Chains A and B, each alone.
Chain A
Amino acid sequence: MIIDINFVGLIIASIMASAVPLILASCGELITERSGVLNLGVEGMMIIGAISGFALMTVTGSLIIAVFGAMLAGVLISTIFAFLTQTLITNHVATGLALTIFGIGISAMIGKNFVGIPGKEFPVLFEGLKDTIPLISPILFGHSIVFYFAFALPFITSYFLKKTKIGLIVRAVGDSPESASNQGINVRIVRYACILYGGAMCGLAGAYLSMIYTPQWIENMTGGRGWIALALVVFSTWNPIKILIGAMIFGGLTIIQFHMQAIGVRIPVQFLTALPYIVTIIVLVVISRDSRKIRLSTPSSLGKSFHKDN
């Protein structure tokens, strides 16, 4: 059998496409967590983004309104989380879980009228270059703008955290909100901003699923990707570049096991389906096992409420 080299390129491109929502949501959550806030509502925010994007696209017909509307929806729902955890000082874990349950429920309710409606085609960039170089072209060209943004995001996030002053402040707040507050940094505002940013990225990840990846609305269509995104953040030890690696492994194994099932490889289906989860976590644990580095990159105040006493 001769394998068409362009076919390999297409498989790699499909792996990358399946990694996009994970990268977006993880990078958003990473910023939230770096400020010391544990938001377990990623799945909920993603699904809200998915239904908002799809609904706005269907109703208004504008893709731009739909994409930004989905991000705004993510911001709005994360505002609830921010208000509860930062202003009313509720427990991060319980509030985040509630957010996910809420998001899944309300998206199903809104989505009732949108089941079965076909999506719209999302414009892709550089389509003309798709056939120029074998193998490379299908990987690099002919994708949506969200795709390119997602693959730039880990590098932008890394630069932001390491090289910019605001990034430094985010890390400082996550390391010690008490010290930050005593230094005159407004911890609450920084954390609000990081939570809302995380919400926007999760909203975008959801919109990518319902508008670009599989352009339609299906109830519960995020299918646990939010939880994988959360796991990626932790197992990458809050390192955006490792998130990229983890998301690619997860996406890759998901696609490959899919093809293996299709070909009829004699391995139990359940094992193949579980494979991406297991391998991703093992690989990330192995590449991040330096306990010193873990200590240095883990936000010390993660998940702890900060209440300024006065």
Chain B
Amino acid sequence: MNTNLKISNVTKIYPGCVANDDVSLEFNSGKIYALLGENGAGKSTLVKILSGVVIPDEGKIYLNKNILKLNSPSDAKKNDIGMVFQHFNLFETLSVFENLIIDSGEQRENLKEKIDTIMKKYNFSVDLDVPVLNLSAGQKQKVEIIRCLIRSPKVLIMDEPTSVLTEQETSELFLSLKKFSEEGILIIYITHKLKEVMQLCDEVAVMRRGKLVSVSQINNENIESLANKMVGQDLKTIKKKKENTSSEQLIKITNLNFTSEDPFETNLIDINFSLNRGECLGIAGISGNGQSELFQVLSGEIISNKNSIEFNKNFIGDLNPQERREYLMAFSPEDRLEQAAIPQMAIFENVALNNFKSSNFFNNGLINESKIKEHSKKIISEFNVNTDNIDLKSQFLSGGNLQKLIIGRELITSPDLLICFNPTWGLDVGAINYIHETLIKINEQNKSIILISTDTDELLKLSDKISVIHRGKLSKIMNAEDVTSEKLGILMGGGN
């Protein structure tokens, strides 16, 4: 049976931001639709409206010409709309089966049978009795999909489903989605990744700043045309100049191990690598494979064996982050508002947190405010932070501006090594470009970078050497020119 879903003049306004501005769209089953846009373009709000999580201020939704009242997520479920969220909607401490039974009206045995049938049909294999927190991201997603399929949905909405998947898992997912589509399920695929749209979808709707910009057949589009629609301006592409890097070794990691007591953390097993001046080492991997532990060990948040880290001919494995900064290391952690900055404190106060002996931010224990403010203004102008109010609380900066501030704070002392972890995560294209340019510039000044990132395109663009972390183990270091994203994908999934 054909399914027709129609969104008509939907508007949703949040204080200070129009998330959806008079959006109208129509979908028919048998096709896969892409909803494309940058972060903050309004696509998430739109799918939250379709799944009943958010109620629109204006506008109507029709399913097969009947008006739909979606006041809660259960309304969406009742109307056969299934949704796989970007941040998994699973209960981590419950078993897979408990997660599946919780919102189904079925008896245990019936449900087990149904799950078995679905798993066989689509070639999924997930252990039903383990707690969800033991699953990989790909498996968690399968649990979410199974949960939708149990209800035999007419519409399946996937919100940024590949952000946590490997290449292999992604292609498996695409195969499944195509199968679902052939079986008559209407698929709406939300993403900001252009390649995926070209690979998977039949039609594409582009959103920008809450508005629908265009709807078109995929055959009439290419990656550049979609990118320009998405960003609203022509994008310049930056390339790294491949120059001969020096052969002077800057940092050397020897037999670095970390064993955690927290079942949520990953142990690091026998990490070894070295890096020369002027080089960028990219560390790829699916999130949760030990990246954050590696970052913490390198930055000194977790202290390790003194001899395991040799930096500039000093052994510094047992030093804390502040002491390592004195040796000219700099750090940009993954979580900007939790780890890199204190949200409730003003910009200049956050700058002062990065306190060097030479900075003279404090006199006999008293804060030297004018000195700090002068320093902060320098960072803001040099690193293009879009504000002139250094008394502003850092939580009010956009992600891009905050990241520029953090990178600026780290770089203004001209360190020899910058270690950054997902520096462009969740940023818009403009800010990403700026950060990438900045990182390239650092390398050109004969300074080094360790870039831990889950974005393979970013890694291939910026790195001289690449390694992959999988379950706390680092693969051998490869030259970036010899690496393809397919190869990285295989290593990220644990292959050879």
**Taking beta carbons and an 8 Å cutoff, which residues of A are in contact with B?**
165, 168-169, 171-172, 175-176, 178-185, 291-292, 295-298, 300, 310
Binary A-proximity of B60-91 (CB < 8 A = 1, otherwise 0): 00000000000011110100000101001111
Contact of A185 with B103 in the complex, beta carbons under 8 Å: yes
Taking CB atoms, residues of chain A closer than 8 Å to B55 are 310
The answer to whether A176 touches B131, judged by C-beta atoms less than 8 angstroms apart, is: no
Using CB atoms, name the residue of chain B closest to A186.
B72
- How many angstroms between the C-alpha atoms of A218 and B264 in the bound complex? 49
Cross-chain contact A175 with B72 (CB below 8 angstroms): no
Q: Give the tally of cross-chain contacts (CB within 8 A).
A: 68
Q: Are B98 and A168 in contact (CB under 8 A)?
A: yes
- Known contacts A168-B102, A310-B55; is-contact A184 B72 (Cβ 8 Å): yes
Chain A nearest Cβ from B250, distance in angstroms: 37
- B92 & A183 in contact (Cβ 8 Å cutoff): no
The closest CB in chain A to the CB of B131 belongs to A296
Q: Which of B73, B75, B93, B103 contacts A297 (CB 8 A)?
A: B93
Additional A-B contacts beyond A165-B102, A175-B91, A184-B103 (4; CB < 8 A): A168-B94, A176-B91, A185-B102, A296-B93
Given A175-B91, A175-B93, A183-B103; A295-B264 close (CB under 8 Å): yes
Q: Is the CB of A300 within 8 A of B92?
A: yes
B458 to chain A, nearest CB (A): 29
Chain A residues with CB under 8 A of B89: 176, 178-179, 182-183
Q: What are the 5 tightest A-B residue pairs by CB atom distance, in nearest-first order? A: A184-B74, A179-B89, A184-B73, A175-B91, A172-B91
Chain B 408-440, CB within 8 Å of chain A: the 1/0 string?
A: 000000000000000000000000000000000
Q: How distant is the Cα of A150 from the Cα of B433 in the complex, in angstroms?
A: 65
Q: How far is the CB of B134 from chain A (nearest CB, A)?
A: 10
Contacts of A310 in B (CB 8 A): 54-55
User: Cα distance A54–B40 when bound, in Å?
Assistant: 60
Residues of A within 8 A of B98 (CB): 168, 171-172
Contact assessment for A300 and B85 in the assembled complex, using a CB-CB cutoff below 8 Å: no
**Judging by beta carbons under 8 Å apart, are A168 and B264 in contact?**
no
Is B261 at the interface (CB under 8 A from chain A)? yes
Find chain B residues with CB under 8 A from A179 CB: 88-91
CB distance from B75 to the nearest CB of A (A): 8
B480: chain A residues at CB < 8 Å are: none
Nearest A residue to B83 via CB reads: A182
Q: Does B262 contact A (CB under 8 A)?
A: yes
Interface check B342, CB cutoff 8 A:
no
B interface residues (Cβ-Cβ under 8 A, vs A): 51-55, 72-75, 77, 83, 85, 88-94, 98, 101-103, 131, 133, 261-264
What CA separation (Å) do A185 and B262 show in the bound complex?
30
Interface contact B73-A182, CB-CB below 8 Å: yes
**Residue in contact with A175 in the complex, picked from B73, B77, B92, CB distance below 8 Å:** B92
Q: Is the CB of A291 within 8 A of B93?
A: no
Cα A180 to Cα B92 in complex, Å, equals: 12
User: Could you tell me if B73 and A181 are in contact, using CB atoms closer than 8 angstroms?
Assistant: yes
The distance in angstroms between the C-alpha atoms of A295 and B261, with both chains bound, is 11
A30 to B52 alpha-carbon distance, docked (Å): 32
Closest Cβ of chain A: how far from B128's Cβ, in Å? 14
Complex alpha-carbon distance, A165 and B100, angstroms: 12
Residues of A contacting B102 in the complex (Cβ-Cβ under 8 angstroms): 165, 168-169, 172, 183, 185
A180 to B75, alpha carbons, bound, how many Å?
14
Q: List 8 A-B contacts (CB under 8 A).
A: A172-B91, A172-B102, A175-B91, A183-B73, A184-B73, A184-B103, A295-B263, A296-B131
Q: Are A300 and B263 in contact (CB under 8 A)?
A: no
Instruction: Collect the chain B residues with CB atoms within 8 Å of residue A300's CB.
Output: 92-93
In the complex the two chains form, is A171's CB within 8 Å of B93's CB?
Answer: yes
B94 with A182: CB separation less than 8 A = no
Expressed in whole angstroms, the Cα–Cα distance for A183 and B74 within the complex equals 7
The residues of A that contact B54 with a CB separation of less than 8 Å are 310
Name the residue of chain A whose CB is nearest to the CB of B55: A310
Instruction: Determine the chain A residues whose CB is within 8 A of the CB of B264 once the complex forms.
Output: 295
| B73 proximity list for chain A (CB < 8 A) | 181-184
Q: Which residues does chain B contribute within 8 Å of A181, judged by CB atoms?
A: 53, 73
Q: Which of A175, A182, A185, A297 contacts B85 (CB 8 A)?
A: A182
Q: How far is the CB of A30 from chain B (nearest CB, A)?
A: 15
| Cβ of B203 to closest chain A Cβ, rounded Å | 27
Complex CA–CA separation, A296 to B55 (angstroms): 34
Bound CA–CA A291/B133 (angstroms): 14
CB-based contact A292/B263 at 8 Å: yes
Residue of B nearest to A298 (CB): B93
* Identity of the chain B residue whose Cβ is nearest the Cβ of A299 in the assembled complex: B93
A178 to B90, CA, bound (A): 9
Residue of B at shortest CB range from A162? B98
Residues of the A chain whose Cβ atoms lie less than 8 Å from the Cβ of B75? 184
How far, in angstroms, from A297 to B95 measured CA to CA in the complex?
12
Q: A168 CA to B111 CA in the complex, in Å?
A: 16
- Shortest beta-carbon distance from A65 to chain B in Å: 39
B94 and A172 within 8 A (CB): yes
Shortest CB distance B50–A (Å): 13
Contact partner of B92 among A165, A176, A291, CB < 8 A? A176
Chain B residues within an 8 Å CB radius of A176: 89-92
Smallest Cβ-Cβ distance to B72: which chain A residue = A184
Q: How far, in Å, is B360 (CB) from chain A's closest CB?
A: 40
What's the least CB distance linking B296 to chain A, in Å? 19
- Tell me how far the C-beta of A173 lies from the nearest C-beta in chain B, rounded to whole angstroms: 9
CB distance from A198 to the nearest CB of B (A): 20
Closest to B76 in A: A184
Residues of B within 8 A of A175 (CB): 91-94
Q: A182-B73, A184-B72, A184-B74 are in contact. Are A295 and B93 (CB under 8 A)?
A: yes
A181→B74 CA distance, assembly (Å): 9
Q: What is the CA–CA distance of A160 and B91 in the complex, to the nearest angstrom?
A: 18
Determine the distance from Cα of A180 to Cα of B74 in the docked complex, in whole angstroms: 11
For B88, list chain A residues within 8 Å (CB): 179
- In Å, the complex CA distance between A269 and B245 comes to 75
- CB-nearest residue of chain A to B51: A182
Nearest CB to that of A309 among chain B residues?
Answer: B54
- Flag if B85 contacts A171 (CB, 8 Å): no
CB-CB under 8 A from A291, the residues of chain B are 261-263
Bound Cα distance from A156 to B227, whole angstroms? 59
